[in-house]
Chains A and B, each alone.
Chain A
């Protein structure tokens, strides 16, 4: 749109974009280089920019198997919470965007408010609830807890996508005698697929990184990476190398997802969004 820009402003623009990329990547760069440094180089002062790389930390974490277990649990919980969250949230979002019913505004706000509660006060009742239901330390238990936390975001973001889809399609469907179910499943759902992908990624990232509930509700069986990686923060010692190696390994699948889906994310936003 600002297509006829001056070469100089193009240069300035690219410089700023690059600067932001550097700012974004620097901590990541630091984590990745730490994972290849010997412990004594990690804390070196002045910081060691050149160092003799080692694969010891990777060997250590991959041979132990524990980290792979965290990784597996995170993947199960993240994907499970995303799938369940979308399955439950998308229909609700559709109704909130396209149908009127009594008390909709209050219902809408109540959904939003479920994300507002500070977790500290909820931990004990949650723990007691889970103990009684026998959901402690299980994948499904943590999945449900994460869905409860992320449903507000899923519903509110999806709501935006649905209300931006042209209404004509839906009306045409209804006029042709299709039921509401058919209209939703055959017309609206496929059209909003890119939005679902974008929302799903957000939901996945939130679950992937969630700490407090994962800490209190899981033990050995379902412990996820954000909690598990804390075990490298020892008593009067930090295993910086192992911590950063594990974080790097953890990052790979998410990076993969981001690169694969980044087009979808933007396209999702594109298709779903406002048409003036």
Chain B
């Protein structure tokens, strides 16, 4: 959070340099005790599964032969990276993430700005906008399956009513992925909106007013003042949306199952098929490990670029 960090880094430094020795050791104990529960819980629950799946990825572990797994070195990775399936799924995943997170951010930003100018009824609207995150996903996704139904769905009925030809939606290889993105946008725009609304409401009035008096246009105000203030909030929202969108599963699984053909088969769906349907845990684990590497790299770059990390690591 550049601004936040910039202003507070000195304060933090101040505490670090807390004077007396006894204070320091008590501070050390304080830090350790405060971090311990989270560290223990996360270590306890994520370390073993991670190491296990990391190990599986170098074996031919199949759930069909749970007790008979051999070390196969990099064979799974070679098979993955040399085949076309991984790369096709990778492209699908990247497209899905970029479209979904991009559209969600734009809509959320726009709505948040409009909402900011609204004084009456904005409370109710904010609550309404949160609803998609609160509906049990199985009901939401199956309802979308019904809404998208080419023959019985309300979407095509609407198109016909206004004189447009009905669409195949989920069974059209070019339209299936955008149709899935639309559902993700519906469900997760509120998440970004929630964080931006919070950010917007704390922009101090003075700089905006000063600039307005100087005759700056609405766009200038937005670019020069509002957006820089919002940046850390946008960054956190986009970061977590990206991490989650990369793993999107239930929407795709319920609505298209990866089809038509393989046009919506994302990496997570590919891994699920290999691991849970084909029971090839070794191979599935190597997909998961590669996914983890991709997300980690992308996140690192993103965090660095947006200077999100609270310490000045550069």
Interface hits, A247-276 → B, CB 8 Å: 247, 250-251, 254-255, 258-259, 262-263, 265-266, 268-270, 272-276
Contact A265 B53 (CB under 8 A): no
Q: Mark B146-184, 1 if CB is under 8 A from A, else 0.
A: 110001111001001000000000000000000000000
Interface hits, A115-173 → B, CB 8 Å: 115-126, 128-129, 144-145, 147-148, 151, 153, 155-157, 159-160, 163-164, 167, 170-171
Asked whether A17 is an interface residue with its Cβ less than 8 Å from the other chain, the reply is: yes
Contact B201 A269 (CB under 8 A): yes
Contact A255 B138 (CB under 8 A): no
Contact A17 B207 (CB under 8 A): no
Question: Which residues of chain A have C-beta atoms less than 8 A from B39's C-beta?
Answer: 92
Contact B128 A274 (CB under 8 A): no
Question: How many whole Å from A41's CB to the nearest CB in chain B?
Answer: 11
Interface hits, A26-58 → B, CB 8 Å: 27-28, 30-31, 34, 42-47
Contact A205 B134 (CB under 8 A): yes
The interface centre, meaning the residue of A121, A180, A268 with most chain B CB atoms within 10 A of its CB, is A121
Asked whether A79 is an interface residue with its Cβ less than 8 Å from the other chain, the reply is: no
Task: Report the Cα distance A107→B42, complex, angstroms.
Answer: 12
Contact A125 B53 (CB under 8 A): yes
Question: Which residues of chain A have C-beta atoms less than 8 A from B132's C-beta?
Answer: 24, 27-28
Contact B27 A99 (CB under 8 A): yes
Question: Which residues of chain A have C-beta atoms less than 8 A from B229's C-beta?
Answer: 274, 276
Interface residues on B, range: 35 or more
Contact A88 B310 (CB under 8 A): no
Interface residues on A, range: 35 or more
Asked whether A193 is an interface residue with its Cβ less than 8 Å from the other chain, the reply is: no
A121-B123 contact in complex given A116-B295, A244-B143, A276-B229, C-beta closer than 8 Å? no
User: In the complex, what residue of chain A is closest to B195 when comparing beta carbons?
Assistant: A269
Contact B202 A273 (CB under 8 A): yes
Consensus secondary structure, chain B interface: helix
Question: Which residues of chain A have C-beta atoms less than 8 A from B299's C-beta?
Answer: 109, 112-113, 116
Consensus secondary structure, chain A interface: helix
Asked whether B106 is an interface residue with its Cβ less than 8 Å from the other chain, the reply is: no
Contact A27 B143 (CB under 8 A): yes
Contact B8 A120 (CB under 8 A): no
A163-B53 contact in complex given A118-B292, A170-B15, A276-B204, C-beta closer than 8 Å? no
Contact A108 B204 (CB under 8 A): no
Contact B34 A144 (CB under 8 A): no
Question: Which residues of chain A have C-beta atoms less than 8 A from B57's C-beta?
Answer: 121
Asked whether B82 is an interface residue with its Cβ less than 8 Å from the other chain, the reply is: no
User: In the complex, what residue of chain B is closest to A92 when comparing beta carbons?
Assistant: B38
Choose among A23, A125, A126, A157 the residue that contacts B236 (Cβ–Cβ < 8 A): A157
A164-B4 contact in complex given A98-B12, A105-B311, A153-B240, C-beta closer than 8 Å? yes
Could you pull out 11 A-B pairs where Cβ atoms are within 8 angstroms?
Answer: A1-B221, A113-B299, A115-B244, A116-B292, A120-B272, A121-B285, A124-B281, A129-B48, A156-B240, A167-B14, A251-B135
- A120-B271, A121-B284, A276-B3 known, 13 other contacts, Cβ within 8 Å: A1-B208, A20-B111, A95-B35, A112-B243, A125-B53, A163-B5, A163-B310, A164-B1, A171-B15, A209-B136, A255-B131, A265-B126, A274-B3
